[in-house]
Amino acid sequence: MEIEVVEKEALEKLSKISNVQELESFRIEFLGKKGKITELMKNLKNLPPEERPAYGKRVNELREKIEKLFEEKKQQIQKLLEQEKMEKMRIDVTIPGARRKLGHSHPVLKVMEEIERIFVSMGFDVVEGPEIETTWHNFDALNTPEWHPARDEHDSFYITDDLLLRTHTSPVQIRTMLERKPPIAIISPGKVYRRDYDATHLPMFHQVEGLHVDRDLSVAHLKFTLEEFARRMFGKNARVRLRPSFFPFTEPSFEVDVYLSGYGWLEILGAGMVDPNVFLNVGYDPEEWTGYAFGMGVERIAMLKYGITDIREFVRNDVRFLSSY
């Protein structure tokens, strides 16, 4: 009689099992060393000897039946676990990816690189000079004597009496001519420093210097080169105009304007024929050598190209501004 009770209970419990914990408590309750099947076996000794074999057989059959069903249940539950795990690991390849933000060059650097590309394609080398200069390279050698207003302390950042932050890239002309023999065709991009700060001036800004030294160069070569540059930089309709001006290191000297439709004439650089005194300062014979030089403000060109009205935008580091170019 008790056998049927245990069997009924076992089958009922087994059918309700849904996880590993329940499975284990079931095993202990029925199949364990002190489980209900073992208990049933203990009844054997209370039975009359002739009933014992039949009883023992039935209990063993029940054990086998429960073990078999238990094994099946165990497999079922393992399969379920496996499926749950696979479900969690599934990758939905249709979910859109998270876009990585990439940085990019500053607009001033981009324009500077474009200027470099244009002149390199015309055969100019790119050279660089130091930002801390001697007053000799920055002024004297460039035919800018002590009394010249450009040497006024109010315009320049002096480090000592003889050292300053270069106020223009023109000292690279001197360094290059001292280092090389003509013919020379170089440009020199870099930072320059002046004591100025307003909507159109920064205390640090960028220039690209140009120098071409050879025999028989004239203003025509200068004008052609700058026109070619303007056309490549601003479009093939760009026109160039030279206005008389003065720089201590060039003679004659010009301010160079570019005509842009929608803007009119805009001054973008200073230029001129290398002054004979400059050639003498670097040991070149001014009777043999001629040259033209120019210097342009990179921020100024970037402002024109991108329609920026306040030069200080370049140094505010507002990412919304920077990433729009």
- Return residues touching ligand PHE (CB under 6 A): 168, 170, 247, 250, 270-272, 293-295
Question: Position 142: which residue type?
Answer: L
- In terms of CB distance, is 31 or 150 closer to ligand PHE? 150
- In terms of CB distance, is 26 or 281 closer to ligand PHE? 281
- In terms of CB distance, is 35 or 270 closer to ligand PHE? 270
For the CB of residue 247, give the shortest distance to ligand PHE in the complex, in Å.
Answer: 4
- In terms of CB distance, is 168 or 175 closer to ligand PHE? 168
For the CB of residue 239, give the shortest distance to ligand PHE in the complex, in Å.
Answer: 20
- In terms of CB distance, is 35 or 272 closer to ligand PHE? 272
For the CB of residue 254, give the shortest distance to ligand PHE in the complex, in Å.
Answer: 8
For the CB of residue 322, give the shortest distance to ligand PHE in the complex, in Å.
Answer: 26
For the CB of residue 205, give the shortest distance to ligand PHE in the complex, in Å.
Answer: 10
Using Cβ positions, the residue closest to ligand PHE within the complex turns out to be 295
- In terms of CB distance, is 268 or 293 closer to ligand PHE? 293
For the CB of residue 113, give the shortest distance to ligand PHE in the complex, in Å.
Answer: 20
3-state per-residue secondary structure call for the chain: CHHHHHHHHHHHHHHHCCCHHHHHHHHHHHHCCCCHHHHHHHHHHHCCHHHHHHHHHHHHHHHHHHHHHHHHHHHHHHHHHHHHHHHHHCCCCCCCCCCCCCCCCCHHHHHHHHHHHHHHHCCCEECCCCCEEEHHHHCHHHCCCCCCHHHCCCCCCECCCCEEECCCCCHHHHHHHHHCCCCEEEEEEEEEECCCCECCECCEEEEEEEEEEECCCCHHHHHHHHHHHHHHHHCCCCEEEEEEEEECCEEEEEEEEEEECCCEEEEEEEEEEECHHHHHHCCCCCCCCEEEEEEEEHHHHHHHHHCCCCCCHHHHCCHHHHCCC
- In terms of CB distance, is 56 or 248 closer to ligand PHE? 248
For the CB of residue 295, give the shortest distance to ligand PHE in the complex, in Å.
Answer: 3
